[in-house]
Chains A and B, each alone.
Chain A
């Protein structure tokens, strides 16, 4: 079989790109972008409804749109794109044919059928149970069937990835060890197996319950196991987008990890500890002990947070080292000032690192503190936090890497280069605004998943006050900004794929893509050369981050101390 497998050699990287891999990456990436467009539209409608002065949708449609928004972007867009990344990081980066392409197509078909089925269930109107579908709220059976099919498809995708790693090893398509980016993808795939297994353990019984074969499901057990899927699937995103950060830094400025050992160790910490995060959703739940809550919510003494903080140093550190090698050696920040900010891949990556760390990361750790969670549980602070991680972090990183994938895999030039330069800024700043203003409203007590904060239909009235209304208005404005960035992204990617200039002819140098890293000079002959380089800029950046982290953490303890005494 392998003798007949067709491939081409990429003119930019010299890597073999097999035609079966290429088609699968294209299919998964296109499906991802389609669902991003659908889910993003629902998201905009949700944000405009929560803006009290606009209040776009009626209540029924609001809860329907919110359910669809969560499913289509948090699950469908991200996992389709992750499958594309898995195939890229295995088959392309390892110079290897893809294992069982037919099975991979089966997985793709299952994911597509599942995603459509669940969307149909939601649009039919009797499954507005939110993305989390907490029992005993009951959705139509095909709501659960669709998610299960989607998960089985994704599981097949992960298995194809593992199979490809085995083939690459057997056929010795690479020397030494797998590249760091592939290692990060491997981390994501391992966590995905745990995630999908948890999903099956809880959603299969829930399906049986929804058709009447099981009489009841314990709501706390449901939450523990469901979040082993729901939260761990966000850890797939973290692993995947950190891998994407390293990938973009490598392609655009020729960055290499400061040390392979440290970066891989950080990924390993994700595998070992991130799954404990189910506890983040159970901190104010009855019937669970504080010991369990503290141990699990802190990922066993913050060891997974340690992993993210390591990447938070090593990604900018690798960029600084590479830029200094590229000749930008003046002062503390010349390397940063003269970074390729006009390249949408680099700009998207850099904003993603900053927003994920400062907004999503810090707020997540603070909110996950057992007692501080009393202030934030189920307020709109929660979606504020995860729009910082999943939208300003993951989605922005995935958008950024698209600007690399289109020339390499689709072999088309990016159209509208001038607009493409601005796209990551529009989307990124919009997404960061969404996150910050929702967190602001949440701090003021505004509830998440709530149609009317004026409580006009309620027997007992309540007024949140002007500041909360302003936060939600600013959230709406930010959502419009992010939507403009999102629409641009969809137009640019789809337009480039359909109408971009073909890059079939090899040897056309593309200015958008930076050259491969410059040759090593003797001074830097040691591994990575990093031991010989100073990284003052990175030290300043992580110090600012650390100070912000510590201050924000203790400010929230102050808020807790002002609450009514509870015991």
Chain B
């Protein structure tokens, strides 16, 4: 029994049950399939996180964000949050701080943007809804990824890393517009 010592001293020389050998082989091969699926997706899939990231002083990141807001601001949300519309292909920034995502980005459908993300104070969770893309945002690290919106509409960024007592009120917005529309 499993609660008593093995009956034979040389228990490691006992023959194996065939079912066990087959199952070990199946499980091992399945592990390889799952491992190479991740590698395969890096080569042929469309959804991979870039490995591009930089150390950044929060104040310096904030300056870059403000420069973008100044240059491309097209309006304001009723809450006073600026709405910016950088040209396709541009570097766009979103900053996380307690308790807001700053600013609101207007992006064109089907166009690619280099999105820079960082936090001012504590860790935050970038959760783009209802698309459901989730990223961890750290203070002191600037994450850069190229993103291509493929649906028109208003998308909400909610914070999904606990960041303090106002955490549940921390939201932001990405607006995806038709690239052919004049505005």
Contacts and interface: CB of A to CB of B under 8 A. Distances in A.
B17 A284 contact: no
Given A317-B20, A460-B171, A220 B141 contact: yes
Interface in B133-183: 133-143, 145-151, 156, 158-173
A565 B147 contact: yes
Interface stretch (A115-123, A228-236, A534-542): A534-542
Contacts of A306: 24, 27-28, 31
A566 B126 CA distance: 14
Interface in A162-197: 174-181
Interface stretch (B33-41, B63-71, B89-97): B33-41
Contact of B50 (A249, A516, A567): A567
Q: Which of A290, A458, A539, A563 is most buried by chain B, counting CB atoms within 10 A of its CB?
A: A458
B143 A286 contact: yes
Interface string A496-514: 0000000000000000000
Contacts of A542: 23
Contacts of A465: 130
B127 interface: yes
Given A220-B138, A565-B147, A246 B2 contact: yes
A421 interface: no
Contacts of A261: 11-12, 14, 16
Given A284-B134, A565-B47, A566-B47, A257 B17 contact: no
Contacts of A260: 6, 11-12, 14
Interface stretch (A24-32, A423-431, A472-480, A525-533): A525-533
B60 interface: no
Interface stretch (A1-9, A151-159, A447-455, A483-491): A447-455
Contact of A445 (B15, B130, B137, B159): B130
A177 B41 CA distance: 46
A253 to B, nearest CB: 10
A375 B134 contact: yes
B132 A379 contact: yes
A289 B51 contact: yes
A378 B127 contact: yes
Contacts of B122: 134, 136-137
A330 interface: no
A314 interface: yes
Nearest to B156: A462
A561 to B, nearest CB: 7
B125 A530 contact: no
A303 B47 contact: no
Contact of A298 (B17, B20, B31, B77): B31
A566 B158 contact: no
B132 to A, nearest CB: 5
Given A174-B5, A563-B47, A375 B132 contact: yes
A219 interface: yes
B160 A378 contact: yes
Interface string A1-26: 00000000000000000000000000
B53 interface: yes
A458 B129 CA distance: 15
Contacts of B1: 179, 250, 254-256, 516-517
A59 B170 CA distance: 14
A512 to B, nearest CB: 17
A341 interface: no
A471 to B, nearest CB: 14
A565 B168 contact: no
A303 B145 contact: no
Nearest to B50: A567
B162 to A, nearest CB: 4
Given A134-B123, A378-B125, A460-B79, A290 B49 contact: yes
Given A247-B3, A285-B138, A462-B158, A259 B37 contact: no
B47 A449 contact: no
Contact of A134 (B131, B160, B161): B161
A92 to B, nearest CB: 9
Interface in A279-309: 282, 284-290, 294, 298, 301-303, 305-306, 309
B108 interface: no
B129 A535 contact: no
The 9 closest A-B pairs by CB, nearest first: A302-B31, A286-B143, A447-B160, A459-B79, A286-B53, A246-B2, A457-B169, A462-B156, A309-B27
Given A93-B3, A251-B3, 19 more contacts: A130-B162, A176-B5, A220-B141, A250-B3, A261-B16, A262-B20, A285-B138, A302-B30, A305-B27, A447-B158, A452-B169, A458-B170, A527-B8, A538-B19, A560-B45, A564-B150, A565-B148, A566-B133, A566-B147
Interface of B: 1-9, 11-12, 14-17, 19-20, 23-24, 26-28, 30-32, 34-35, 37-39, 41-42, 45-51, 53, 55, 77, 79, 81, 100, 104, 112, 117, 121-123, 125, 127, 129-143, 145-151, 156, 158-173
20 contacts: A137-B162, A178-B5, A179-B2, A181-B3, A286-B117, A289-B51, A306-B27, A310-B27, A313-B19, A365-B34, A369-B38, A370-B49, A375-B134, A376-B134, A377-B135, A459-B169, A563-B133, A564-B47, A566-B49, A567-B46
Interface of A: 59-60, 63, 93, 128-130, 134, 136-137, 174-181, 218-220, 246-247, 249-251, 254-263, 282, 284-290, 294, 298, 301-303, 305-306, 309-310, 313-314, 317-318, 365, 369-371, 373-379, 443-445, 447-453, 455, 457-462, 464-465, 516-517, 527-528, 530-531, 535, 538-539, 542, 546, 549-550, 553, 557, 560-561, 563-567
